[in-house]
Amino acid sequence: MTIFDNTLDADGALIVGAGLAGLFTALKLAPRPVTVLSPKPLGMGASSAWAQGGVAAAIGQGDSPRAHAQDTEMAGAGIVDHGTAEGVTAEAVARIEDLARWGTPFDRDDFGNFELGREAAHSANRIVKVEGDRAGWAIMQAIIAEVRRTPSIRVVEGITALSLARDNGRIVGVYCRRLGDRYSEPIYIRARATILAAGGLGGLYAVTTNPPGVRGHAMGMAARAGAIIADPEFVQFHPTAIATGADPAPLATEALRGEGAILLNDLGERFMPAIHPDAELAPRDIVARANFRQIQAGRRVFLDTRQVLGADILTRFPTVSKYCHDAGIDPVNDMIPVTPAAHFHMGGVKVDERGRSSLPGLWVCGEASCTGLHGANRLASNSLLEAVVFGARIAEDIGGLEPARSLAPFEGIEWNEAEGNKAEEVLRNTIAVQELRRIMGDLVGVERDEAGLKAALRQIAHLEATAEQVTSAFLNMTTSATLVAAAALRRTESRGGHFRLDFPEPSGDWEHHTEITLGEALAIRAGA
Ligand SMILES: Cc1cc2nc3c(=O)[nH]c(=O)nc-3n(C[C@H](O)[C@H](O)[C@H](O)COP(=O)(O)OP(=O)(O)OC[C@H]3O[C@@H](n4cnc5c(N)ncnc54)[C@H](O)[C@@H]3O)c2cc1C
């Protein structure tokens, strides 16, 4: 199909984003027609491909979905939706079977049983792993191959969505641009159903584990179109990103602490046992804050795997070992320097149990959504699970599409490596983007307070008003940043991933989700 009048037809459903959420939904929709938009070649630019731990599923002997749901609720600090937790954990095994059927080579023992890992705040071994710490990469390779084999899925690479298109209050598609093409008119792709699966917002922070393109675009786009946003203040900081100065910061998976690795400061002190009875396996926000405070006090923090893993780290954690080697660290004999980094967004576009947003015609899946599963703090390895469970539900919910034999490619839109890399560099080096990421890290980060949040909101408004070029992509980022900071200012308590120095305790008055629109966030910003 060629572009006519800058309008294209998705011929059915349109999925924005090609991480696990987007691709799994596409496969579940088959043989109904679906077009998937991906800024980069499939597998690149998605957090999904970087996941190290695996997928949580109560699959082991003696474990149960009920126990998994209870752990999820415990980690979520009082505001997990009970029904969502019960439903998602109950559907886990069926979705793992889907992934296995599509070729994911899960780690199994000699009898074919899943090998199950342990991560913080799980009461059982229930992390289904692939190739040690390469779960995300291996799952994505398998489902990308399945997507490529499926003729009813049209994949468009080298394109980025800017805004949602609305007609009479209904979402009817998206406006997009070819990567690197900043000056021509946006292309309008119209669709019968639009599924936003463009990831979280870690990249809004100066120190993050997320890929560079995952910067709050999804939540920003939806909020600008009028969608209700839920819990945006809840950002999870991973305690152990490898502190090499690289952007993004490579991750040292929590499974290392599950294996018994400990945290030490540069004085050789192990500080976690004095802070929490579960020490290094305390909930992520507690470990992240402990590391943050050590670093604020001028100390360096290290993850010591030497005693528990020794040379085994090389074979059992090949991804972490490679990251270490790339940074000149010998993980067998040296401790690994670590730092907290923005990692996962519990909040997002509010959806119901079928993945429907508040805007007719718009479904949201994966980290871009807020299903109520994570509450104030995500339980490790629950996010890939959430992506596949809701992907399946969304595919079931979308009605009225007839099966298609195959879809013709969109002529003239394709990934161009030189252009794509240049576009990413331009965005990374844009002063306003750097400044936004600094503001978020300094003032809306691991620890927050009223003065800092108000300053952040004023500074974000100033950036919007004065940035050399206020593109839709930049507005999506500042919109998401505004929502996080405004909701964080409004929530005068501490809970899970949201910690207020001036309100350090949880408050019964706040034991509920946040719902906020962009209009409300802008009003809070105007008063800051
Ligand atoms: C280093 C790391 C390790 C992790 N480990 C685990 C783990 O072990 N277990 C677990 O459950 N979770 C883990 N997570 C979290 C998990 O990977 C993510 O929450 C999950 O993969 C999100 O999937 P997604 O499909 O929603 O988003 P992503 O996988 O991030 O995909 C988003 C897609 O949207 C595209 N996109 C972005 N903006 C636009 C736009 N404007 N237009 C079009 N497309 C766009 C991106 O290019 C990408 O294709 C980890 C995360 C990271 C970063």
Q: How far apart are CA 489 and CA 496, in angstroms?
A: 15
- Write down the architecture of domain 238-340 according to CATH: Alpha-Beta Complex (3.90)
Residue 384 Cβ inside 6 Å of ligand 1? The answer reads yes
Residue 369 Cβ inside 6 Å of ligand 1? The answer reads no
CA angle 209, 487, 250 (to 5 degrees): 5
What is the model's pLDDT at position 3? 54
CA of residue 515 to ligand 1 center, whole Å? 23
Residue 27 Cβ inside 6 Å of ligand 1? The answer reads no
Whether the full predicted model's pTM is greater than 0.75, yes or no, is: yes
- Pair 363, 192: CB distance under 8 Å: no
CA of residue 380 to ligand 1 center, whole Å? 14
- Pair 493, 509: CB distance under 8 Å: yes
The minimum-distance atom of ligand 1 relative to the CA of 251 is 1
CA of residue 439 to ligand 1 center, whole Å? 23
* Residues ≥6 apart with Cβ < 8 Å to 404: 11, 12, 31, 32, 33, 151, 152
What is the model's pLDDT at position 132? 85
Residue 203 Cβ inside 6 Å of ligand 1? The answer reads no
What is the model's pLDDT at position 469? 76
What is the model's pLDDT at position 200? 98
- Pair 144, 165: CB distance under 8 Å: no
What is the model's pLDDT at position 429? 82
Please give the backbone phi and psi of residue 259, each rounded to the nearest 5 degrees, phi first: -80, -5
**Domain boundaries of the chain, sorted by first residue:** 1-234+346-415, 238-340, 417-527
For residue 40, the 8-state DSSP code is S
Pick the CATH number of 417-527 from 1.20.140.10, 1.20.58.100, 3.40.640.10, 1.10.375.10: 1.20.58.100
Out of 32, 215, 257, 284, pick the active-site residue.
284
Q: How far apart are CA 359 and CA 363, in angstroms?
A: 8
Query: 154 catalytic, yes or no?
Result: no
Q: Do domains 1-234+346-415 and 238-340 have the same CATH topology?
A: no
What is the model's pLDDT at position 23? 98
What is the model's pLDDT at position 4? 54
Give the pLDDT of the chain (528 residues) as one tens digit per residue.
545 578 999 999 999 999 999 999 999 999 999 999 999 999 999 999 999 889 999 999 999 999 999 999 999 999 999 999 999 999 999 999 999 999 999 999 999 999 998 887 889 999 999 988 899 999 999 999 999 999 999 999 999 999 999 999 999 999 999 887 766 789 999 999 999 999 999 999 999 999 999 999 999 999 999 999 999 999 999 999 999 999 999 999 988 998 999 999 999 999 999 999 999 988 889 999 999 999 999 999 999 999 999 999 999 999 999 999 999 999 999 999 999 999 999 999 999 999 999 999 999 999 999 999 999 999 989 999 999 999 999 999 998 999 988 999 998 888 988 888 888 888 778 899 999 999 999 999 999 999 999 999 999 999 999 987 778 999 999 999 999 999 999 999 999 999 999 999 999 999 999 999 999 999 999 999
- Pair 373, 348: CB distance under 8 Å: no
Of 296, 392, 417, nearest to 41 by C-alpha is 417
Q: How far apart are CA 236 and CA 495, in angstroms?
A: 11
Q: Is 412 exposed, middle or buried (0-12, 13-18, 19+ CB in 10 A)?
A: exposed
CA-nearest residue for atom 48, ligand 1, is: 46
- Pair 124, 5: CB distance under 8 Å: no
Q: According to the CATH classification, is domain 1-234+346-415 in 3.50.50.60?
A: yes
CA of residue 506 to ligand 1 center, whole Å? 30
CA-nearest residue for atom 37, ligand 1, is: 198
